[in-house]
Amino acid sequence: MNQYLIKLLSKKLCCFSNFCSITSISYSLPGFFLLVTKQYILASLFILLSIFAFLNHTRHYTPEPIYDIIDIIDRILIIIICFYFIYNYYNFCIVWIAISYMIVVYFLVIPKCNNIRNKQLLHCSFHLVTSLSALSILIYKYMILIK
């Protein structure tokens, strides 16, 4: 019984060794900031993105994407949030830096990378750059509104 429990826990905890699952939680930072500022719809999109990205990255690594409902919802949320920021903050330089970084890393750098750990680190940086960029834009907008 104890060995079965240890095996089960080690399988469940192995997902946390994947840096992508940990950094995908960073999408909740803009979501919680938006909750404080009472922007509930966008906050719910960020929190849902954080949940679905976490679920997507806790699975075992495969070289090709797994197109199931979790992955599809994750991608749809990313597209909606990206278009929201492009539409509302097109004159902010950091939006274009973050989106350019997403495109370059996701479509040009990661496919050429052979090492799985390097791919994970690049994908982790993708999560951090986009979530922190969104958070900085939202904080800047909020600081202007309260002046």
Residue ranges per structural domain of the chain: 18-146
pLDDT for the residue numbered 110 = 84
What sign results for the dihedral spanned by CA atoms 55, 61, 62, 64? positive
Lowest-confidence pick of 14-28, 65-79, 97-111: 14-28
pLDDT of residue 57: 82
Q: Distance between alpha carbon 70 and the CA centroid of its chain, in Å?
A: 13
Reference 20, options 47, 70, 56, 66; nearest CA is 56
From 72, 43, 80, select the one nearest 56 (Cα to Cα).
72
Task: Find out whether 131 and 30 touch, Cβ atoms under 8 Å.
Answer: yes
pLDDT digits (tens, 9 = 90+) for 75-105: 999 999 999 999 999 999 999 999 999 899 8
Q: What is the pLDDT of residue 4?
A: 53
Q: Other CB atoms closer than 10 Å to residue 91's CB: what's the count? A: 7
> What percent of the chain has pLDDT above 70?
84
- The span from the CA of 105 to the CA of 126, in Å, is 7
pLDDT for res 67: 74
Which residues does 145 contact at the CB level (< 8 Å), separation at least 6?
A: none
pLDDT band at 63 (very low <50, low <70, confident <90, very high): low
- Does residue 1 or residue 30 have the better pLDDT? 30
| Angstrom distances, CA of residue 26 to CA of 15, 18, 106 | 16, 14, 18
What percentage of the chain carries pLDDT values higher than 90? 46
Instruction: Summarize pLDDT for 21-56 with one digit per residue, the tens.
Output: 888 899 999 999 999 989 999 999 999 999 999 988
Look at residue 61 in the predicted model and tell me its pLDDT. Answer: 63
- Collapsed DSSP state (helix, strand, coil) of residue 74: helix
Residue of 95, 88, 87 lying closest to 136 (CA atoms): 95
How many of the other CB atoms lie within 10 Å of CB of 67? Answer: 9
Q: Which residue has the higher pLDDT, 145 or 82?
A: 82
